[in-house]
């Protein structure tokens, strides 16, 4: 699929953190249409060459507290979108929480066998959505993304530090970052090289250790007493083979903070 201005791409959740930046970046090469709650019924049954579903719930703690509600937000909504929209390629934005052990790249290769009984509610619902996509779409891409940094960042530890909120994670936490710009570039490469019917981990190389966070913020960083240590690291060998420009998680954090300071 070559970059053409008249190639229709629908982005479900086009006003969210990832969706809004995908609209911005992909619009430079493709014709892009935003699909939201407000215009969903109007856009139903429209044909799209590519439909990107960036719409699911991304609030892990909420999902684990309210599993019934999250099932509708993260799983039923995907099922419905498959039958509501016609497309050649369906791209589903998933999560590393589908892995039983997401703390080490040895256990997070895309072909890792997943036992859904060991997943929390959030990961289980994302995994169910992946199975639905694979069952009903001949051509699909499932992108399991690490923590995203982008223009409309509204939650997460980096957002909390910027806005002087206490952290819910400890300084021993290690997280994998990637920017929305990099995700858009990866999607373009996948489409241009006709990569379909595949699952791909999308994240920076390695993790960022929060013991180093004060290097980037000249302010007091508060950590809640009940803060947990979180470790997320997916294996990104497949992404690196497709996208040689992949950077480290720390480089993506630096890139985001530079853009943030330049714009604000």
What per-residue confidence (pLDDT) applies to 58? 84
From the list 113, 101, 9, 13, the residue with the least C-alpha distance to 57 is 13
53 pairs with which residues across the strands? 12, 92
Residues 6+ apart with CB under 8 A from 24: 151
| Rounded mean pLDDT, 176-205 | 97
pLDDT digit string, tens, across residues 43-91: 998 999 999 999 988 888 898 899 999 999 999 999 999 999 999 999 9
Mean pLDDT of 164-179: 97
Q: Retrieve residue 230's tokens.
A: 């979180």
Nearest alpha-carbon partner for 63 in 148, 145, 127, 120 = 120
CB 78 within 8 A of CB 132: yes
Task: Please tell me the predicted confidence (pLDDT) of residue 216.
Answer: 95
Domains and CATH numbers, the chain: 8-263 (3.40.50.720)
Give the pTM: 0.94
């Amino acid at each position: 699929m070559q970059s053409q201005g008249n190639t229709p791409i629908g982005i479900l959740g086009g006003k969210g953190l990832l969706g809004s930046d995908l609209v911005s970046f992909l619009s430079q090469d493709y014709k892009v249409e935003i699909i939201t709650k407000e215009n969903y019924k109007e856009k139903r049954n429209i044909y799209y060459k590519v439909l990107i579903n960036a719409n699911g719930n991304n609030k892990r703690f909420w999902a684990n507290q309210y599993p019934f509600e999250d099932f509708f937000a993260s799983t039923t909504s995907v099922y419905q979108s498959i039958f509501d929209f016609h497309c050649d390629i369906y791209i589903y934005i998933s999560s590393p929480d589908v892995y039983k052990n997401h703390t080490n790249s040895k256990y997070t290769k895309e072909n890792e066998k997943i036992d859904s009984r060991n997943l929390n509610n959030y990961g289980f619902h994302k995994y169910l959505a992946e199975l639905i996509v694979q069952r009903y779409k001949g051509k699909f891409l499932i992108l399991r993304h690490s923590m995203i940094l982008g223009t409309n960042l509204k939650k997460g530890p980096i957002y909390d530090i910027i806005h002087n909120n206490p952290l819910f994670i400890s300084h021993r936490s290690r997280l994998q970052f990637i920017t929305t710009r990099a995700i858009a570039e990866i999607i373009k490469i996948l489409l241009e090289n006709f990569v379909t019917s595949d699952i791909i981990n999308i994240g920076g190389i390695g993790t960022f250790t929060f013991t180093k966070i004060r290097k980037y913020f000249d302010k007091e960083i508060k950590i809640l007493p009940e803060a947990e240590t979180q470790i997320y690291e997916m294996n990104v060998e497949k992404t690196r083979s497709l996208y040689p420009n992949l950077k480290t998680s720390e480089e993506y954090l630096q890139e985001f903070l530079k853009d943030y300071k330049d714009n604000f």
